A and B are shown apart, each in its own frame.
Chain A
Amino acid sequence: MRNDSIMDALNDLDEDLVLEANQCRKLRKHHDKRWIVPVAVAASFCIVVSVLFYECGFGLPAQNNENTATIVNDDQQLSTHDLQFSMQENMEVQPEKQEEPVRECPSVIVTLENWTEDGFTGTVTELVDTDTIPLGRRVAVKTDSNTILSVYSDDTVVHKKLSDFSAIQATKLQIVFRPWGDDGFAEDTESACYIYTIYAEQIIPIEAGAE
């Protein structure tokens, strides 16, 4: 076949001609790859600028710092299973809570079981207004010298420190879960039958069998 002959003859082409042509092929291949370096440099530059912008926070919305304006309570021990009452006369309240409208606060009545030096334990025997604490749940309340008890008597209520009361006389306490407010204090009157309302930040159910 005629064209096969020339194809075979080309195999014996002078070597310098073949090398010259191959050189052009190599140069072109290298030329084709010249874009890689500038594109890589540009891409790296864009990545660096993006990282700098992110680190400096440019253009990003301000993040809320959840650690500011939190309720500070030395006695408070929070966990997923245990919530404890912890009351202080002067608490730092989150600005958001102070601005919240007044509302009915969840509360329970606890039949006291045991008074301790720093609190008391009892069982929820009546639900007043709550969907967080179930009936029959044991609760533990931590108190300190600044704990305020609000004493209700007929149509009156007085607020006084826990230490001013004879705890033994109290058999039931109404525990109201509400933010600490600016309540005034009046002269106290003592009665074993009174229901004491403890204004607390949190009511913590305790595990069965735990104290």
Chain B
Amino acid sequence: MQDEHIVQMFWNRDEAAIAAVREKYDNYLFVIAQNILSNREDSMECVNDTYLAAWNSIPPHKPQVLQSYLSKLTRRISIDAYRRNHRLKRKGSAYDISLQELDECISDSVTPESKLEYKNLAKAISDFLRSIPKTERTLFICRYYFMDSLRDSAKYCHLRETTAKTLLYRTRCSLRDFLKKEGFEL
């Protein structure tokens, strides 16, 4: 079923839209949640929360690309769940590892307090990613957006693990320099 049709079903408040989304994107969303939470039950719960969030937000939203919209919902819900579960203690999930790696990209003093500042930061990162080669870009997004493991991220980009690790390090350094140039404090 086409995404446009599914979005229209959401707009028409047709509950079959949930089933259609589940059938098409359930595995995709589950992988994103699982990468962050490393827990099957929690991941399934987050995916179900995603469907509920989509039902509650469409309308008024009308996403152009349903897949991206859903993945963002899942990612945000999963990260929130992770933070709730691990408020004081860090564990070795992919999220935690990615978090540590991104330590060097931005300083503690930068704490965007408004949604606009988050959007500006996101825009800057997007601009940065467009300026780098496709392999590095894909590698970065697989690692830090989809929270894929280093091994999987390297596999997706047809790279060896050690090469991917080096490329990610260089990309993080370049991002830091880029954000510094854009006025974000490091």
Contacts and interface: CB of A to CB of B under 8 A. Distances in A.
A61 B122 CA distance: 76
A15 interface: yes
A130 to B, nearest CB: 76
A19 B129 contact: no
A8 B95 CA distance: 12
Interface in A1-40: 1-15, 17-22, 24-25, 28, 32
Interface stretch (B9-17, B44-52, B111-119, B162-170): B111-119
B106 A18 contact: no
B144 A2 contact: no
Interface string A74-113: 0000000000000000000000000000000000000000
Interface of A is mostly: helix
A13 B106 contact: no
Interface residues of A, number: 25
Contacts of A18: 68, 71, 141, 145
B126 interface: yes
B118 A7 contact: no
Given A4-B83, A5-B112, A10-B125, 17 more contacts: A5-B121, A6-B121, A6-B125, A11-B72, A11-B122, A13-B122, A13-B125, A15-B68, A15-B69, A17-B126, A17-B141, A21-B142, A21-B146, A22-B67, A22-B71, A22-B146, A24-B142
Interface of B: 64-65, 67-69, 71-72, 75-76, 79, 83, 95, 98-100, 102-103, 105-112, 118-119, 121-123, 125-126, 129-130, 134, 137-138, 141-142, 144-146, 148, 155-158
